[in-house]
Amino acid sequence: DVAEQLTPVLPDGPGEESLQFVSELKDSSCSGAVDVSTVWWAAAGHRELRVVTASESAVSLWQPLAPDCWGKVYTWHLREIPVIQIVPLPDTCNLVCVALGELEIGEIRLLLYSSETDSFEHSLVKTGNIKAVVGLKDQRLVSSSRTMQEQQVEMVSLSETGGSKDKQTLMPPEETVTAFAEVEGMREALVGTTAGNSVVVWNLKTGQLLRKMHIGYSYPASICHRAYSDSGLLFVVLSHPHAKESESCGSPAFRVVAFNPRTGRSAGVMFCCLPPGPAGRRGDVWDTAGAAVLTSGAVAVWDLLRGRCTAVLPAGPAGRWALARWASGGAGLLAGRCNGTVHLYRY
């Protein structure tokens, strides 16, 4: 039924860009999947893409053994505080970053293999009332945390051994930062969204807060996913988890907004709608593709440049999808069910 309902939103059918099933990974010991991701892992002079799965109390690393066959390499048990999410570290090898907490993130940990002790370990990177965290290229991690009095925004450079090499304090905006996104192709630029529905821009090298630009009142509580700088404009991919469905344009899943950082003015560029009916949940963006799990248990994929839905994974008889994440380096889409099943699709 779900597939039939969703078919009309794909004007040209699934087409070339539809998802091709590659392989399945089944974690029979998983009692409730909370996140899935990929990590580059180097061992014995060979670098490969591995899958990372997380439940509240354990994070597992999976290795490709043969076509369509995954084997669990190791499981880190984290029993004191529940795991909330895996924080992807783009281009980083042999390091998995996880956020733990109850309702909010209380600590960030690195999971790694230590060749010195020939064992898998985990180390604490940060504690506090952490509101947002993002992993950036070159093993950098930015987080915002809040005390009663003030907000702290900080970037740490991570070492291969799980420590922090270097720290840079970023100037905090007055409003709480709710999400960060790296700016494609600009190593020293970072954008964030705030609780007051603004986009802020930092210089990561100097820690300066360069600009605060209001998004507008139409879509409150916007979350940034990705940004691109082109022709003097900053294009920011936003999602609106709390936006209401409207008759004219349906429920917004992702919006691409162009900001002129010089003037602070903005204009909507592209608008991706959820299929009629189902509301959206967590979304993920890679390059110019967006994916989100719908409340119906289906996964929808959008081409953010053309503003159209390009593929839908219906919930199907095996169950509802709970997670949708893009794999590193364009390796495809990971779709996960609560029971620990993960499907890898080529996109």
Q: How far is CA 260 from the centre of its chain?
A: 25
Contact with another protein (CB under 8 A) among 29, 42, 188, 329: 188
β-partners of residue 53 are 36, 60
Least Å distance between CB 137 and another protein? 17
Residue 258 interacting with another protein (CB under 8 A): yes
Residue 74 tokens read as 């190791």
d(CA 84, CA 177): 18
Least Å distance between CB 258 and another protein? 5
Residue 306 interacting with another protein (CB under 8 A): no
Residue type, 198: S
Residue 260 interacting with another protein (CB under 8 A): yes
Residue 233 interacting with another protein (CB under 8 A): yes
In 3-state terms, what secondary structure has residue 182? Answer: strand
Burial of 284 by CB count in 10 Å (0-12 exposed, 13-18 middle, 19+ buried)? buried
Contact with another protein (CB under 8 A) among 26, 47, 77, 265: 265
Nearest-CA neighbor of 201 among 261, 287, 129? 261
Please give the span between the terminal C-alpha atoms of the chain, in angstroms, as a whole number: 24
DSSP character for 283? Answer: E
Residue 210 interacting with another protein (CB under 8 A): yes
Nearer to another protein by C-beta: 222 or 266?
A: 266
Evaluate the CA torsion angle 306, 344, 37, 273 in order and state its sign: positive
Stretch that binds another protein, among 55-63, 144-152, 172-180, 204-212 (CB under 8 A): 204-212
Residue 325 interacting with another protein (CB under 8 A): no
Contact with another protein (CB under 8 A) among 7, 20, 119, 208: 208
Stretch that binds another protein, among 2-10, 186-194, 273-281, 328-336 (CB under 8 A): 186-194
Residue 255 interacting with another protein (CB under 8 A): no
d(CA 106, CA 126): 8
Least Å distance between CB 133 and another protein? 23
Contact with another protein (CB under 8 A) among 109, 126, 140, 211: 211
d(CA 109, CA 322): 24
Q: Which residues bind another protein (CB under 8 A)?
A: 171, 186, 188-189, 201, 203, 206, 208-211, 229, 231-234, 258-263, 265-267, 269
